[in-house]
Amino acid sequence: MKRATIKDIAKVLEVNTSTVSRALNNHPDISQPMKVKVQEVAKALNYTPNLLALNLKTNKTKTIGLIVSSVGKFFVPSFINGVGSVLESHGYKLVILASDESFDKEADHVRLCCNSQMDGIILSLTNQTIGIDHLDLVIENAIPLVIFDKTIKQNKFSSITINDAQYAEMCTEFLLNNNCTNILGVFGNPNMTITKERLIGFNKAVEKNTSINAHSIFASDIEEALQKTIIKLNEDASITGIYCMSDEVLTGATAALHQLNKLNDIKLVCISDGVLTPYHVPAINYVQHDGFAMGVATANQLIIEINSKEKITPIALKMECGWV
């Protein structure tokens, strides 16, 4: 049986479709008895509004696009859950688009979001992205867009991040305060602003104290972090503290320590989303960069911008992170 439309229910009641439409939308002009009758027939016919027709009419889709390099193990899943929980309560759907660290794909996805008339976009830049000209389309179409976590310097869109340098510095100082005089910083992909910022914080802490010996390595995935950490620790056996900028590199570094049987000799500290980190043994100190909370904040900002009538001035929100 084909899906019922307001036309069908209008036919049954021998009234006009617009009457039905207004009755269903509880319009004040419609009499109570009529409303009741319409409701009944609607229920009997299993009527549900055709959202596609509504979309066309209102030029809204109640859909948000989330463009992210990929749905990895860390941070992003929590972030998605955070975004999802907010969007759901506002009746928005969330479309996931993976850019796979390719700038072209990122641009494609942005285009897709615009062409599909999405009501908003949430974006985390790839490590290849060095400009935001590809987002001009978004501005032309007046689609609210919020950038989170991985961003670059810009002032056209709101961004939700943390103070990367500050927390990296905090972590590094923790090592120094724990009598580590020779430390290693394990960083992610060097192209990312987030990496550069965290490196700045690391160096800042190191430079405060001239007696410190510091190394740093960059790794784009777990395996690379593992290999480079092993090499570094073999080169310099006197390293006693490691700062990891993310859960991903932490996983590699931890495996390296395991393999070298140095898990109890070297102090670890990291910036982590805090989901798996609590299960590290020996216990590990970390600054919690809560993905869920950031997802919630990002989604909320996006909703604000969507609902705002006037053009909003972009904000740059730095979220607070706690020490665990």
Partner DNA sequence: CTGTTAGCGCGTTCAC
Partner DNA sequence: GTGAACGCGCTAACAG
Residues engaged in binding DNA (CB under 7 A): 3, 5-7, 14-19, 21-22, 24-25, 27, 29-31, 33-34, 47, 49-50, 52-54, 56-57, 59
Q: Which of 16, 81, 89, 308 binds a second copy (CB under 8 A)?
A: 81
Hey, what's the torsion of the CAs at 212, 217, 221, 223, to 10 degrees?
-90
Q: Which of 6, 41, 80, 266 binds a second copy (CB under 8 A)?
A: 80
First CA to last CA distance, the chain: 58
- When CB distances are held under 5 to 8 angstroms depending on the partner's kind, the choice from a second copy, DNA, none that residue 238 binds is none
| Nearest distance, CB of residue 49 and a second copy, angstroms | 7
Radius of gyration of the chain from Cα atoms? Answer: 26
Instruction: State how far the Cα of 323 lies from the Cα of 167, in Å rounded to an integer.
Output: 9
Where are the alpha helices (H) located in the chain, listed in sequence order? 6-13, 17-24, 32-44, 51-58, 76-89, 103-115, 136-140, 164-177, 193-207, 222-235, 247-260, 291-307
Among 85, 89, 178, 209, which residue sits at the site for a second copy (rule: CB under 8 A)?
85
Cα–Cα distance for residue pair 91/100, rounded to 1 Å:
28
Under the binding rule (CB under 8 A), the answer on residue 44 touching a second copy is no
Instruction: Please tell me the distance from the alpha carbon of residue 55 to that of residue 304, in angstroms, as a whole number.
Output: 20
Q: Is 93 in the site for a second copy (CB under 8 A)?
A: yes
Q: Are 274 and 288 in contact (CB under 8 A)?
A: yes
- Which among DNA, a second copy, none contacts residue 5 (Cβ within 5 to 8 A by kind)? DNA
Are residues 47 and 4 in contact, defined by beta-carbon separation less than 8 angstroms? yes
- What b/e sequence results for 61-96 when a residue is b if at least 16 CB atoms lie within 10 Å of its CB, and e otherwise? bbbbbbbbbeeeebbbbbbbebbbebbeeeebebbe
45 versus 98: smaller Cβ distance to DNA: 45
Contacted by 61, from DNA, a second copy, none: CB < 5 to 8 Å by type: a second copy
Q: How far is the CB of 70 from a second copy (least distance, A)?
A: 6
Query: Which residue's structure tokens are 């985390």?
Result: 124
Q: Which of the ranges 12-20, 82-90, 227-235, 299-307 carries the binding residues for a second copy, by CB under 8 A?
A: 82-90
The whole-angstrom separation of Cα 250 and Cα 288 is 13
Interaction with a second copy in 164-183: which residues (CB under 8 A)?
none
Q: Which is nearer to DNA, 15 or 260 (CB)?
A: 15
Nearer to a second copy, 67 or 171 (CB): 67
Please, which residue, 3 or 7, has the CB nearer to a second copy? 3
Residue 287 DSSP code:
E
- Interface with a second copy (CB under 8 A), residue total 53
CA 98 to chain centre: 12
Between 40 and 88, name the residue whose CB sits nearer to a second copy.
88
Binding mask 134-153 for a second copy (x = CB under 8 A): ------xx------------
Q: Which stretch binds a second copy (CB under 8 A): 19-27, 28-36, 86-94, 169-177?
A: 86-94
Residue 247 to residues 180, 187, 299, 323, Cα–Cα distance (Å): 21, 10, 23, 15
The binding site for a second copy (CB under 8 A) comprises 1, 3, 46, 48-53, 55-56, 59, 61, 63, 70-74, 76-78, 80-81, 84-85, 88, 93-98, 112, 114-117, 140-141, 222, 226, 251-252, 254-255, 258-259, 275-276, 279-281
